[in-house]
Structure 1
Amino acid sequence: MTDMTGWSVERLHDDHSQALRVSEVLYDNKTDHQRLRVIANPTFGRVLTLDGVVQVTEADNFIYHEMLTHVPIFAHGAVKRVLIVGGGDGGMAREALRHPVDSVTMVEIDGGVVDFSKEYLPSISAGAFDDPRLDLQIADGAEFMKTTDGGFDVIIIDSTDPVGPGEVLFTDHFYGHAKRALAPGGILVTQNGVPFMQGGELTGTLRAFGTLFADAYCYLATVPTYAGGPMAFGWGTDSDARHVPLELLTDRVAQSGLDFGYYSAEVHKAAFALPGYVKKLFP
């Protein structure tokens, strides 16, 4: 929302907010599900907000998308099928499709997000929507997860915060369906907010993961426009992929020939080193 002349003020938290200077409003409209805005900011470029909450920016989106995609893919080591729930801006698909995967299925509830992202934020998807390996489905992610035949090596839950249409993606039932949709040795990763401000969100996910997976954990990355400290990503798998040796990770990254703005084998390993306040959130 815009509370001050020329500023967009986010009020996701009751007693903490952030503000971005608005140099231009490029898009402002309501879909059936939420209010979409694209503003321009001198530092972060174009910024997408949903119901006033920052979702993605041109300048720093690479951090979020790289860490939620490449950590599970490189840890797994042999990913062929990826499922993304959410991610309507196309950034997660962009990163997943940099790998030699056979297919990426993307399930987005709001087709309006995809349409205007193509028009107003084309650099985020960077052509991902035109990749023949992408299977884009405009559907409810929770319903899709109930009925899919599964067989996914990596499932990425690129959801909004647990309010409105994103709320159902944080339930025990949804995680249970996601576990069933994984192939043997598969990895489920989730967006779990900023644990300093949203600790209950992470605790709830880890509690559910603890009943479903042999390895229930999380890892961290700092994204400048997500206020309140590092962001947590939930991690669930029955494999030992979290403990893949640094040497093997380094070799996998080198063989991929990919370059990154944030991710590296060293950052991958370090992301699982958690500060005390985050460890205390484990159930």
Structure 2
Amino acid sequence: MTDTPIPGWTLERLHKGYGQALEETEVLYDSQTDHQRLRVFENPRFGRVMTLDGVVQVTEADNFIYHEMLTHVPILAHGAAKRVLIIGGGDGGMAREALRHPSVESVTMVEIDAGVVEFCKTYLPGISQGAFDDPRLNLVIDDGAAFMRNTDQKFDVIVVDSTDPIGPGEVLFTDTFYGHAKRALTQDGILVTQNGVPFVQGEELTNSMRAFKALFADWGCYMATVPTYAGGPMAFGWGTDGPGRTVALDELEARFAAAAIQTDYYTPEIHRAAFALPGYVRRLMP
């Protein structure tokens, strides 16, 4: 749901009784695709901003937090990830970060809307930074739930970079989808998911965690604060039957150094600390 409180501004009202306003100094793109309404505009604080159906998906300024935490945490926790699957991620930012790991041999990215990919290549090239041209990337235009249900491939890390559980993204928050995702993991594989902002989307997190608890030996979530994902820190779902969460700090530091990756948010210390949950989030765990 969107509104214009004053000329030149857009108001996101994803959550009941709460919203965020962003100034639009220039609208670069505004079009309805087969699946959703796509817009890109310039903002003096966040640079180019992309919205889907009026909800902020990515900005040039703060996307690094989200993308680094959903890729580097599971890849470095795994320690030997070669095959990565991304569900969603049409802006290319998740692929960008996953492909920075020299140990990653292939990244399969499944995006439901080809229009989003082409749009982002044209209007937000700084997000993907050439990821779509990397020969290790396999871009599949398909429904993520259908792909997960039908695939016979196995992946070391699966990243669900979904929109919120409304519209096309709703099916990616179901017990059945998570079950199919677990089947597609290797023995010590790790599943991570976008699980919204617990302060205003607590039920969403609880429902996902109930499914994770039934599926994985080690389940839960970790957190990071992304300024334009309004309402407080975001939760990222975590599920594995492997030892990923127990990796010691010195081992994470060694893996991070070996990868030779320059990050703006992720550090091994942040990696470990992100799993420490505030009380209100702990109480959302089933």
For structure 2, the residue ranges without an aligned partner over 5 or more in a row are: none
- 1-structure distance, mates of 2:153, 2:11: 40
Displacement of 1:2? 4.6
**1:23-38 superposed matches below 5 A:** 23-38=25-40
Displacement of 1:259? 1.0
Aligned partner (choices 17, 20, 23) of residue 21 of structure 1: 23
Displacement of 1:150? 2.5
- Whether the 8 Å contact between 1:89 and 1:124 is mirrored in structure 2 is yes
Q: Does 1:277 align with 2:274?
A: no
Q: Does 1:153 align with 2:156?
A: yes
Q: Which runs of 4+ in 1 moved over 4 A?
A: none
Q: SS in structure 2 opposite 1:65?
A: helix
Q: Does 1:243 align with 2:246?
A: yes
Q: Does 1:253 align with 2:226?
A: no
Which residue number corresponds to residue 199 of structure 1?
A: 202
Q: Does 1:223 align with 2:226?
A: yes
CA RMSD after TM alignment: 0.6
Q: SS in structure 2 opposite 1:104?
A: strand
Which residue number corresponds to residue 54 of structure 1?
A: 56
- 1-structure distance, mates of 2:140, 2:242: 29
- Whether the 8 Å contact between 1:150 and 1:183 is mirrored in structure 2 is no
- 1-structure distance, mates of 2:99, 2:274: 23
Displacement of 1:225? 0.5
For structure 1, the residue ranges without an aligned partner over 5 or more in a row are: none
TM-score, normalised by the number of residues in structure 1: 0.99
- 1-structure distance, mates of 2:50, 2:130: 18
Which residue number corresponds to residue 120 of structure 2?
A: 117
Aligned partner (choices 251, 264, 268) of residue 265 of structure 1: 268
1:22 maps to amino acid: E
Task: Give the total of aligned pairs.
Answer: 283
- CA deviations on 1:24-64 (whole Å, 9 max, x unpaired) are 00000000100000010001000000000000000000000
- Whether the 8 Å contact between 1:194 and 1:228 is mirrored in structure 2 is yes
Q: SS in structure 2 opposite 1:227?
A: coil
Displacement of 1:268? 0.2
2:152 maps to amino acid: D
- 2-structure distance, mates of 1:240, 1:103: 22
- 1-structure distance, mates of 2:154, 2:56: 33
Which residue number corresponds to residue 130 of structure 1?
A: 133
Which residue number corresponds to residue 85 of structure 2?
A: 83
Over the matched positions of the two proteins, sequence identity in percent amounts to 72
- CA deviations on 1:166-196 (whole Å, 9 max, x unpaired) are 0000000000000000011000000000000
Which residue number corresponds to residue 100 of structure 2?
A: 98
Which residue number corresponds to residue 169 of structure 1?
A: 172
Q: Does 1:232 align with 2:235?
A: yes
Which residue number corresponds to residue 147 of structure 2?
A: 144
